Amino acid sequence: MSCALTSGGKLAQCLAQGADKSMYAVYQDYTLRSAFQPIVAADGSLFGYEALLRIYDREGRQLKTEPFFSTGLLNVTDRLNLERLARSIHLHNYAQFLSQGALFINMTPIAALDTASQQCLQHSFMTQVTELGVSAEHIYFELLEHYTSNDRLLLHSLKNMQQHGLRIAMDDYGVDGSSETRARYVNPEVIKIDRSLLVQLRAGRPQALLDVVTLAKELKARVLVEGVESEADFESVRGIGVDYMQGYYIGHPELACYLPRHFEPVCG
């Protein structure tokens, strides 16, 4: 049976540093690495990066995160362990290779609701934040779109995180549990809009995206559109007043060691 990695010492036993100075983790038969995708403001300047997990099997073959996390191969303990390890390597690699702009880290609702995970975050993770010289206010935890059965407890956990200076973003608005109801309940600093709403905009149906922009203004949240793949996308979403953009037009995800030393502003 898997053992929960809830202390800094247990987590550290799974971490290693490669010849390229990047931090990675080894868990069971899998190797975990960090990739980062840039996020820009509406003027094309760098706002930050989303940290994305890359998973490799024993033979070094990269696995798709989906369906890896949705096939039923992983029990809850393994899922939480992988999330804690991902959080740790993302933070280390951000400090090592970037240290500029915001850092977005994914968080599942089960991790937000798990008491041991919250204690690990508040102690081990925050200790790492301090040791690495990273400002907590630059870190955004993206609450994934998964449904949850206890929104009240979820809100309590997120409020505890914010009390430590961390920020909350809501991922993939418009999909599954990432809805107007959750946005009003959680009141995140950033609402990340799923690319499906951008697809509707491309097809001449902008209302769903415009509604989110209106909602965000009401909640005093900022809006980030995902899936920006062309200059036309960039100009379209900028024209309706979104704050930030992410997608292949902005930049592809890159392993930490391959990130450019200086981000070139996007010119729409």
Per-residue pLDDT band at 102 (split at 50, 70, 90):
very high
Q: With residue 182 as reference, give the H or E element that holds it.
A: helix 180-186
Question: Token digits for 73?
Answer: 């191969």
Across-strand partners of 55?
32, 63
Top-ranked range on mean pLDDT: pick from 136-150, 151-165, 202-216: 202-216
Domain annotation covers residue 6: no
Please enumerate in sequence order all residues whose Cβ is within 8 A of that of 114, keeping only pairs 6 or more positions apart, or say none.
Answer: 80
Number of domains in the chain: 1
225/258: higher pLDDT? 225
At residue 260, the pLDDT reads 75
Residue 55 lies inside a defined structural domain of this protein: yes
Backbone φ, ψ for residue 143 (5° rounding): -75, 115
- Asked if residue 7 is part of any domain, the answer here is no
Written as six digits, the tokens of 231 are 């200059």
Residues 6+ apart with CB under 8 A from 76: 110
184 in a domain, yes or no?
Answer: yes
For residue 172, tell me if it sits in a domain. Answer: yes
Are 238 and 218 in contact by the 8 Å Cβ rule? The answer is no
Q: Pick the closest to residue 237 from 144, 227, 79 (CA basis).
A: 227
Q: Considering the domain boundaries, does residue 136 fall inside one? A: yes
Confirm whether 54 is domain-assigned. yes
**pTM of structure:** 0.93
Give 78's Cβ-side CA count (13 Å radius): 15
* pLDDT surpassing 90 at residue 174: no
- pLDDT of 72 reads 65
The pLDDT value given to residue 210: 94
Q: Do the domain assignments include residue 57?
A: yes
Q: Which two tokens stand for residue 60?
A: 């070094």
Note the pLDDT of residue 70.
65
CATH at residue 118: 3.20.20.450
**Highest mean pLDDT (candidates 3-7, 71-75, 77-81):** 77-81
Q: Which domain holds residue 64?
A: 21-253
Phi-psi region of 117 (alpha: psi -120 to 50; beta: other; left: phi over 0): alpha
